[in-house]
Amino acid sequence: MAFPNSLFLFILFSFLSLLPLTTQSQLSPDYYQKSCPNFHNTIQRVTADKQLSSPTTAAAILRVFFHDCIVNGCDASILIASNAFNKSELDADTNLSLAGDAFDLIVRAKTAVELECPGVVSCSDILAVSARDLVVMVGGPYYNVLMGRKDSKVSDPSKVEDNIPKTSMSMNKLLSLFSSKGFSTEEMVALVGAHTIGFSHCKEFANRIFNFSKTSEYDPAYNPSFAKGLRTLCANYTIAPEMSAFNDVFTPGKFDNMYYKNLKRGLGLLQSDHAMLLDKRSRPFVDLFAANQTAFFYSFARSMEKLSVYEIKTEKDGEVRRRCDQFNTLQN
């Protein structure tokens, strides 16, 4: 006996409704509307206070957010501190230079949120929203942040080094790394535009300003005056490893497109910056973003929205940590 079409469709949709939702469909911009209605106001207040007292916080939180998401998804695994039983992602060499202001902000934000809504808001959501709010605070574009992430139960330092872009990488390796995670060349160039704020330690570019070659003390791709200034600034970097230079020498505290303009003037600080300018695959986007800040902001916002939902954790494989630097259950 054949089923009537209407009955068949009813059974089909009933069956589909029982299937698990995709990870991204479980997220929502209004996730905490009922469970923690003052969440956004609390985060905005805490981030504003921290940024005003420590102006490098915006750059610091962006870097921590990127290092968290790009390794194994946006799951706050970067926030876990080591203990007597386990090392965490923070122990990976590339993460040792992450600025303390970012972690201080997360502690403040988590504390404030827990006082209002105990056990409700994940550290990964706090990190994602704080990064967005600080981008906006220093002049960058607003973008949507979906919420409902859960915090990871794992923080493995062995997963870090092969998943983090290095300043010494060739453009082939950089493009391959981003492509393996689903990001296009345009999206990579846009995300690197976060270098428009913040600084880099001298050791990251020392090979370009000291003993570069037999014919030149510094990389001739640098503007000569810029190179000489960097050599003076970083002269004692081996003794004082905290020595650093702004990624954008003109507007280091403002989120704008000056970073791309600087690349074309020989003012790109890092080797990977210069490689992005030279490569025919990335150069068109450098040119576009240098000429058109609106285009950069649009691409950056869309790329951050995409990054912020990369391999997130949900109820079955995550938790809402009581403290952002500790798993709820001791790992051993």
96, exposed or middle or buried, with CB in 10 Å at 0-12, 13-18, 19+? exposed
Q: What is the DSSP letter of 248?
A: S
Partners of residue 150 on adjacent β-strands:
313
Q: Is 195 a catalytic residue?
A: no
Q: How far is CA 194 from CA 283, 289, 303, in A?
A: 17, 12, 11
SS3 200: strand
Q: Which residues contact 264 (CB under 8 A, 6 or more apart)?
A: 277, 286, 287, 290
SS (H, E, C) 134-172: HHHHCCCCCCCCCECCEECCCCCHHHCCCCCCCCCCCHH
Helix (H) or strand (E) holding 244: strand 244-246
Token digits for 133? Answer: 């709010």
Sign of CA dihedral 111, 117, 123, 127: negative
Estimate to the nearest angstrom the gap between the alpha carbon of 152 and the chain centroid. 17
Select which of 67, 195, 201, 274 is catalytic.
67
How many Å apart are CA 17 and CA 245, to the nearest integer? Answer: 55
SS3 212: coil
Estimate to the nearest angstrom the gap between the alpha carbon of 6 and the chain centroid. 49
| Positions marked active-site | 67
